[in-house]
Chain A
């Protein structure tokens, strides 16, 4: 049972470069989410998706792009990375429409220099 996996787990990139964080889940969950975690801010929702080809903005979407061409994948792209996007990024998926169980990936540590 692979669950939900994120890649890369650790990434250092330069300002201005495009970076894509991958998220893959093996349960066929409809709902998927991307969060960033920063000291003093907790977890903040970047984007979420109800199903393939359906995405919506969260609290802090600026500078990020998502896609959901397949139910199992929900990649997050930083189009032109900035230092303020240095963070730990968590992908999550929801087991059903009730939303009462959320599973998180292990996180992706991104440093923008």
Chain B
């Protein structure tokens, strides 16, 4: 079974600084997808960034970037120039293709989350 581990239950950072959230995962698959989701106090899940395992280049979305280390099964999220609106719970997630009698399907597994607080 795939597992996703976020070892930092809580983190804090000063506004305008950079913070890195850790995520490791365990899988025997070679082809999969990785995601970081943000969940603000409104509880809505918002996709921050995604990475295809077959791509060596790290994904980047504005102030958000990842450090994808496939051999180490590590997928950390770096937030640059932190803003107050970045305060949220952040979830790392792993998706792989499942093959069963019904055909192909996709299963998305989440870590337990890291609560990030950006301080003014």
Known: A48-B105, A54-B103, A56-B102. A99 touches B111 (CB 8 A): no
Stretch at the interface among B13-21, B42-50, B61-69, B72-80: B42-50
Known: A41-B112, A56-B100, A100-B52. A50 touches B105 (CB 8 A): yes
B interface residues, Cβ below 8 angstroms from A: 33, 35, 37, 42-47, 50, 52, 91, 93, 95, 97-98, 100, 102-113
On chain A, the residues within 8 Å of B93 by CB distance are 43
A99–B45 touching, CB < 8 Å: no
Stretch at the interface among A16-24, A74-82, A86-94: A86-94
On chain B, the residues within 8 Å of A104 by CB distance are 37, 44-46
A97–B104 touching, CB < 8 Å: yes
A interface residues, Cβ below 8 angstroms from B: 31, 33, 35, 37, 40-45, 48, 50-51, 54, 56, 58-59, 88, 90, 92, 94, 97-104, 106-107
5 shortest interchain CB distances as A-B pairs: A104-B45, A42-B112, A99-B106, A43-B110, A50-B105
Contact of B43 among A50, A103, A106 (CB under 8 A): A106
Task: Report the separation of the CA atoms of residues A41 and B9 in the bound assembly, to the nearest whole angstrom.
Answer: 11
On chain A, the residues within 8 Å of B35 by CB distance are 102
B35: nearest residue on chain A (CB-CB)? A102
